[in-house]
Structure 1
């Protein structure tokens, strides 16, 4: 069983309320840095907010449309590293999702660019795979409990 997030908690994994975290970015305030934009984009994937994802995708690489109907059930996000240097940024992250009765991950090094005072997603190098957590490892759902006591 997956432990559900508190409905007010932001999906980006910040452990603060959505209303004081990614909601401001989703409502039109420009993200302050590449990590904030990446977290808000992850939250938009969780919430299936296609409009926000397209609006924050740089015009040079943005698809014409985006359909999230078949997207995975995202459960947790871990930021591995970030850089922000003179209008260019990178965020290396790993996102965990439910894959049938198992778990998958998407790891990406995302490239961001600041254009006209706003940060935009440009492109990313993606690696995907399946997770096989051991019984005593932390549960992939992000609950903080051991896998055997949570989602096994």
Structure 2
């Protein structure tokens, strides 16, 4: 999900539907997390907010929600890639009562006129009491 340009270049209007797929406006959903007004209460909500951050190209949020031991030095976005839909396949743990969780998802996108998806099982942990992305789960 990373490639070309660390600065957001795609904006989501506050009243537009949230890219994460929940039935809420961007302002009332992931926009609150991206702006720092709220923190993700579960691993799945963090996954959704990170997908939205890719969709609006918010590198600062992605880096802020990446575990300190696996965080890259920067994010580059593919300029022609448009993230179109997030499908949550399943989640294990990751609630307000857990310290670890996994979320399996398919992130759908359009690139150079073709549609495709990225399938991953992501690992999330709490760092300084906040959910963060640790990395892709390995078998």
> Shorter-normalised TM-score: what interval?
0.7 to 0.9
Which structure's CA Rg is the greater one? 1
Deviation, structure 1 residue 50: 0.3
CA distance in 2, matches of 1:106, 1:22: 20
Q: Given the two structures, how large is their TM-score scaled by the length of structure 1? A: 0.74
Alpha-carbon contact 2:80-2:111 (below 8 Å) kept: no
Matches within 5 A, 1:70-149: 70=79, 72-84=81-93, 86-125=98-137
Q: 1:97-145: CA deviations, max 9, x gaps?
A: 113232111001000001221000000159xxxxxxxxxxxxxxxxxxx
Relative contact order, CA 8 A, sep 6+: which one is greater? 2
- The gaps in structure 2 that reach 5 residues or longer are 1-11
Q: Give the paired residue count.
A: 122
Matches within 5 A, 1:29-44: 29-44=38-53
- The gaps in structure 1 that reach 5 residues or longer are 127-152
Deviation, structure 1 residue 39: 0.3
Q: Corresponding residue for 2:26?
A: 18
CA distance in 2, matches of 1:71, 1:113: 31
- Residue 99 to residue 125, structure 1, CA distance change in 2 (3 Å): farther
